[in-house]
């Protein structure tokens, strides 16, 4: 005759988690469901441990269970811990004396952060823990980070950033009518006084424009930013007007590499090598005066054949040429948005498997989780920062002096 423990175990082993999770309507339902899932998963893992122990050492057999209360991500649980007849088996998942077990939710969130779909995570959990887990329950576990994201997006920022990079990426997001449309995810990466990078925020809108960029830089100011020395941008529409209305002293540098890529799209393949050689004399010039002379020569030689390209360089020259007023170490980190490009590539790796997103929040969550993973490598200052900040402190002496003295007290 089966004991109550046996009946309970049989009941739990036959639970249809996929069906049960659909019935979760409240936070209390989710908590109860998560505790049930956690208990079943831990007990299955312990059973597998014991079976491996018996297979490896032999000369013993299963000998029932004993009760143990542990604290987990889902709350306090009473676990049936299996034992062997010779009492040689020592649980690895919950060692003797330990009363806490956590991190399983974190593993699920980590898999999601690496770009795995809910279905892929479901399969992985099944393989790892021999537990069926529905998409909806996995989604609810991932939703646990929402308060963390809100706190992060509204956190207080540092008072000054010597350099801020700003850019936007386009994703397909489902609208209220059920159709996918292009939405722009904007972000700002700041370099602080210690030369360390930080993602200052993420914002999503239908398009780029002065009005929206004004809301972004206003948000930065409201969260504590008092000054930005140099803003490096990828020709963002309306950005200069927006940032200078909030931070009037900020110097704007348009990304030269993006300008070059744009130019080469309109140059015939048979002329590209020669045109590039002439263009290089412009952006690689030692001084702004030399660059402007080279630009005039470029216009004289190629103006009639490629007027759109030449006009673009002339129209945007004031922001393309900003870097000429600085020394080589500063030029290298502001004339291109390589810092942003690196971030973009890593985000695309995570999102490339997604044909589109169900809403803004789903995109926001994935990008935020990917950023947390990416930022683990941002704990060191950027190359040559000591030299760069020394030069910036001379160029922007009045604006930097008080902040530097505070940060190194």
pLDDT one-digit tens code per residue, 11-65: 344 455 555 555 566 667 666 777 777 787 778 778 877 887 888 777 788 889 9
Instruction: Give the per-residue pLDDT at 11.
Output: 38
Nearest of 34, 346, 319 to residue 169 by alpha carbon: 346
Instruction: Give the per-residue pLDDT at 1.
Output: 38
Nearest of 26, 32, 38, 193 to residue 102 by alpha carbon: 38
Instruction: Give the per-residue pLDDT at 4.
Output: 32
Tokens standing for 68? 């143990």
Instruction: Give the per-residue pLDDT at 2.
Output: 38
Whether the Cβ atoms of residue 166 and residue 231 lie closer than 8 Å to each other: yes
Contacts of 356 (CB under 8 A, 6+ apart): 171, 172, 173, 174, 180
**Which residue has better confidence, 19 or 319?**
319
Let me know the angle formed at the C-alpha of 205 by 336 and 363, rounded to the nearest 5 degrees: 85
Q: CA-to-CA distance for 337 and 259, rounded, in angstroms?
A: 11
**Which residue has better confidence, 224 or 404?**
224
Tell me phi and psi for residue 74, to 5 degrees. -95, 0
Q: Output the pTM of the full model.
A: 0.73
The helix/strand/coil state of 100 is: strand
The helix/strand/coil state of 78 is: strand
Instruction: Give the per-residue pLDDT at 24.
Output: 60
Q: CA-to-CA distance for 252 and 240, rounded, in angstroms?
A: 7
Tell me what the pLDDT averaged over the chain comes to. Answer: 84
Instruction: Give the per-residue pLDDT at 406.
Output: 61
> DSSP letters of 148-205?
HHHHHHTPPPPSEEEEEEEEEEEEEEE-TTS-EEEEEEEEEEEE-TTS-EEEEEEEEE
């Amino acid at each position: 005759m089966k004991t109550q423990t046996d009946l309970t175990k049989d009941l739990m082993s036959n639970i249809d988690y996929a069906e049960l999770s659909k019935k979760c309507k409240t936070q209390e339902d989710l908590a109860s469901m998560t505790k049930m899932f956690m208990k079943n998963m831990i007990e299955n893992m312990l059973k597998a441990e014991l079976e491996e122990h018996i297979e490896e050492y032999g000369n013993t057999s299963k000998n029932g269970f004993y009760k143990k209360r542990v604290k987990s991500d889902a709350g306090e649980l009473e676990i049936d811990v299996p034992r062997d007849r010779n009492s040689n088996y020592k649980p690895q998942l919950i060692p003797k004396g330990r009363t806490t077990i956590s991190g399983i939710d974190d593993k699920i969130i980590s898999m999601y952060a690496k770009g795995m779909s809910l279905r892929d995570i479901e399969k992985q959990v099944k393989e790892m823990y021999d537990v069926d887990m529905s998409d909806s329950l996995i989604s609810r576990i991932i939703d646990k980070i929402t308060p963390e994201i809100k706190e992060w997006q509204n956190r207080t920022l540092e008072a000054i950033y010597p350099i801020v990079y700003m850019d936007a990426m386009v994703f397909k997001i489902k609208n209220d009518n059920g159709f996918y449309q292009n939405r722009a995810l904007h972000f700002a990466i700041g370099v602080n006084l210690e030369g360390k990078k930080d993602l200052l925020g993420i914002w999503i809108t239908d398009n780029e424009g002065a009005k929206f960029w004004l809301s972004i830089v206003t948000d930065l100011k409201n969260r504590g930013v008092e000054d930005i020395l140099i803003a490096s941008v990828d020709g963002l529409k309306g950005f200069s007007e927006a940032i200078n209305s909030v931070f009037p002293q900020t110097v704007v540098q348009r990304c030269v590499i993006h300008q070059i890529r744009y130019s080469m799209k309109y140059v015939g393949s048979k002329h590209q090598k020669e045109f590039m050689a002439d263009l290089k004399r412009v952006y690689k010039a030692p001084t702004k005066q030399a660059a402007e002379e080279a630009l005039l020569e470029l216009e004289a030689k190629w103006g009639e054949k490629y007027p759109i390209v030449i006009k673009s360089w002339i129209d945007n020259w004031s922001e393309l040429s900003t870097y000429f007023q600085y020394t080589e170490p500063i030029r290298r980190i502001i004339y291109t948005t390589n810092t942003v490009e690196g971030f973009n590539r890593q985000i695309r790796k995570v999102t490339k498997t997604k044909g589109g997103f169900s809403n803004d929040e789903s995109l926001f969550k994935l990008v935020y989780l990917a950023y947390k993973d990416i930022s683990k490598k941002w704990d060191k200052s950027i190359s040559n920062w000591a030299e760069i900040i020394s030069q910036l402190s001379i160029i922007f002496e009045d604006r930097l002096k008080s902040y530097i003295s505070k940060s190194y007290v």
